[in-house]
Structure 1
């Protein structure tokens, strides 16, 4: 199968837009990934134009496209906007991008895409039961995947814990802003992940985000009963997960 026959993944973030065709047999890029800057302002029309330009870097194809969005997505409609223009709220992104690209496009929450990728190809590959994938970054992204099936838009970073929005205390941005040591941050992560344990009784927790590269500095300090492991796909997860979602 050639690259133009394969589904295409686009990871749309607040600062950059990355895309590549994905081989779903291996869970890897089938051609070199292209990255462009997110337009300012990142309105739906402006982003759709960038997508068309990005796709023009690759051979023409009719294969489906998956797109991550940093917000809640229900049935292709964006319902919240984090780090993107507020005009996204209420936008039927599936319809917009399908019309702009002339291809079948399916939009998914960015954390959900990463979760699907980690379960199919990464740290949770071959694991049954309930897997919770969390992304520790500016906020806390989350994905719930049960026996390989995504439960979309979990938004577990916004749980209220001890009177606080969880991500305001436990995200990597909070560690950086407050100058916390890894041990101090691990205490907060312990509180957060124990809450997830009580609510969901997961079989496995996967921790992603750029900080996962330093997982050996903090994950051993997180005191929970559930097995907790670092993500393995890292910056490939969004593109791979988006392409996978487009075929489900």
Structure 2
């Protein structure tokens, strides 16, 4: 087992599942099996906290001697959740970081789930050593996004909620993986919706690279080749584990000295 200075715990709270693991901060690999429990129906704070406790108990890391990072599907400003995508509206304006710290009896680092996935890919994955603008998207219950410019995270981008001209639903409502399942789309039909979304992002931001994460990225060969973009688009290296890995990396950086070359990234991510 790695020493304290080499590992941390990451917990990723999603719209349908809560998962966690112990992470090797040198490599970004998981040191334990990934533990996953369902996100409670309604996703109220007390119920989500109870589910996180179950994950930590199964990982046998309930003590406070190991840094802990928690990723959450909302805009996060200084520990407060400012939105509520696919969770209870109770989270809007909620002091989430303080709530979890009190409930768990330990300090934590709390951040947006797509942002921490971006950190994982920046440090250990597809965005490592890429110059310019990288846009990571997580395709799952919703669409999360992370903006990475020359190795620096610009937090809380929320580009899944870009509105479509003269349409009632935003892009997340029609192009998330949950929309594919809900509408029983083929890969080709879903790719047509993704084409509109990524082409719009491409027009607005002129990125140097798209990275696609979320659980569906393991099937990237079924839909990414169907997209016609000028920007390279690749699957995330860490796929559905990116949230766990990034949360762990940021928790260690906040709990102790920053990880190498992470000072600016951590400062931006925690503002």
Q: What is the CA-CA distance between 1:93 and the residue it aligns to?
A: 1.4
Alignment: residue pair count? 248
Q: What is the CA-CA distance between 1:91 and the residue it aligns to?
A: 1.5
Counterpart secondary structure, 2:33: coil
Q: What is the CA-CA distance between 1:53 and the residue it aligns to?
A: 4.2
Q: Tell me how far apart the structure 2 counterparts of residues 172 and 3 of structure 1 sit (CA, whole Å).
A: 38
State the partner residue of 2:259. Answer: none
State the partner residue of 2:25. Answer: 24
Q: Which runs of 5+ in 2 are unaligned?
A: 254-265, 267-271
Q: Tell me how far apart the structure 2 counterparts of residues 174 and 133 of structure 1 sit (CA, whole Å).
A: 19
State the partner residue of 1:13. Answer: 14
Q: Is the 8 A contact 1:72 1:153 kept in 2?
A: yes
For the pair 1:188 / 2:193, whether they are aligned, the reply is: yes
Q: What is the CA-CA distance between 1:76 and the residue it aligns to?
A: 0.8
Counterpart secondary structure, 2:172: helix
TM-score for the superposition, normalised by structure 1? 0.89
Q: Is the 8 A contact 1:130 1:147 kept in 2?
A: yes
State the partner residue of 1:108. Answer: 111
Counterpart secondary structure, 1:132: strand
TM-score for the superposition, normalised by structure 2? 0.82
After TM superposition, the runs of 4+ consecutive aligned structure 1 residues lying more than 4 A away are none
Q: Is the 8 A contact 1:136 1:207 kept in 2?
A: yes
Q: Is the 8 A contact 2:16 2:141 kept in 1?
A: no
Q: Is the 8 A contact 1:3 1:21 kept in 2?
A: no
Change (3 A) 1:199 1:144: same
Q: Tell me how far apart the structure 1 counterparts of residues 68 and 200 of structure 2 sit (CA, whole Å).
A: 36
Q: What is the CA-CA distance between 1:41 and the residue it aligns to?
A: 4.5
Change (3 A) 1:14 1:160: closer
Counterpart secondary structure, 2:27: coil
Q: Tell me how far apart the structure 2 counterparts of residues 172 and 46 of structure 1 sit (CA, whole Å).
A: 25
Give me the CA root mean square deviation: 2.2
For the pair 1:226 / 2:231, whether they are aligned, the reply is: yes
